[in-house]
Amino acid sequence: MLDAYLARIGVPAAQAARPDLDALAAILWGHVRSIPFENLDILLGEPIRVDLPSVIAKLVERRRGGYCFEQNALLAAALGEVGFAVTPLAARVRWMATAPTARTHMLLAVEVPGRGRYLADAGFGGNCPTLPIPLAAGAEVAMHLDRYRLIDHELGLMLQVALPDGWADLYAFTLEPQLAVDYEVANHFTSTHPSSHFTRAPTVAITTDDGRITLRGSEVARRRGTEIAREAITDPDRLLEVLATELRLAFPPGTRFRGGPG
């Protein structure tokens, strides 16, 4: 699987020959630039399967994207083949949250020999960290577009992102290892429950060399540095064009997504 995955994310095998921090950074950066975050199967009435063979078939062989349970299951398996010790974790999403939230986000703790543990996450959409973060309160890392930090919080550790007016909460988590069944339960909620935003409208994001492209509902935002250009999409065929040409997701003509334009 590792060779096919590295080819998918454009990382030469030599860069992933041993489990060090450079390899972890190269793999995470290649992943977020190559495999889009997306929930489109849900909106087509297709189930989201988070077992590893299904994830490899979808994200690697079919060159589709996925959301956190798919993205980070794939990343964890690849890192394990490189030789990293990986612990799957779960977080409560706090971005834009006004009420308590369940543990519905998957992330990874990765042990880097001689360097300690790092947070690695390829599945947080338009706010996804693009490099590893030391897994300790007080860690602060500037990367690509943004600055992230971890702080102590009553819910465990809180990952925050710097905004122009201060720090914003992204998600809170503990270091309790998760089992595959934990993600099966969380995935069932996020992919089927009517209160889950993933069941309501398209959500797609991919990192580019100088920014990010993010689709939410019927609006696409193109970020370059600190500048953001927005386009309202009212034509479903225009949505298919944007998906294919900018977000690396090709669908047959006439495809329509629940919650999208048309």
Scored b (16 or more CB within 10 A) or e, 61-82 reads eeebbbbbbbbbbbbbbbbeeb
What does pLDDT average to over the chain? 97
pLDDT at 207 exceeding the cut of 90: yes
Q: HSE-up of 63 (CA within 13 Å, CB side)?
A: 12
Structural element, H or E, at residue 118:
strand 116-120
What was the pLDDT predicted at 226? Answer: 85
- Per-residue pLDDT of 217-252, as tens digits, reads 999 999 998 899 999 999 999 999 999 999 999 999
What was the pLDDT predicted at 97? Answer: 87
Read off φ and ψ for residue 2, nearest 5 degrees. Answer: -60, -45
pLDDT at 192 exceeding the cut of 80: yes
- Per-residue pLDDT of 27-67, as tens digits, reads 999 999 999 999 999 999 999 999 999 999 999 999 999 99
What was the pLDDT predicted at 124? Answer: 97
Respond yes or no: is residue 68 known to be catalytic. yes
Read off φ and ψ for residue 27, nearest 5 degrees. Answer: -65, -45
Catalytic residue among 41, 121, 128, 169, which?
A: 121
What was the pLDDT predicted at 3? Answer: 97
Exposure of 234 by Cβ count < 10 A (0-12 exposed, 13-18 middle, 19+ buried)?
Answer: exposed
How far CA 166 is from CA of 142, 147, 150, in Å, comes to: 15, 11, 14
Domains assigned to the chain = 2-245 (3.30.2140.20)
Respond yes or no: is residue 105 known to be catalytic. yes
Distance CA 10, CA 4 (A): 10
- Per-residue pLDDT of 102-111, as tens digits, reads 999 999 999 9
pLDDT at 262 exceeding the cut of 90: no
What was the pLDDT predicted at 247? Answer: 97
Catalytic residue among 3, 22, 31, 68, which?
A: 68
Catalytic residue among 105, 144, 153, 237, which?
A: 105
pLDDT at 99 exceeding the cut of 80: yes
User: Given pLDDT bands bounded at 50, 70 and 90, which one contains residue 182?
Assistant: very high
What was the pLDDT predicted at 67? Answer: 98
User: Radius of gyration (Cα) for the chain, nearest Å?
Assistant: 17
What was the pLDDT predicted at 48? Answer: 98
Mean pLDDT confidence for 170-187? 98
Please give the share of the chain, as a percent, with pLDDT higher than 70: 100
Distance CA 65, CA 59 (A): 5
Exposure of 232 by Cβ count < 10 A (0-12 exposed, 13-18 middle, 19+ buried)?
Answer: exposed
Residue keyed to tokens 């030789």? 83
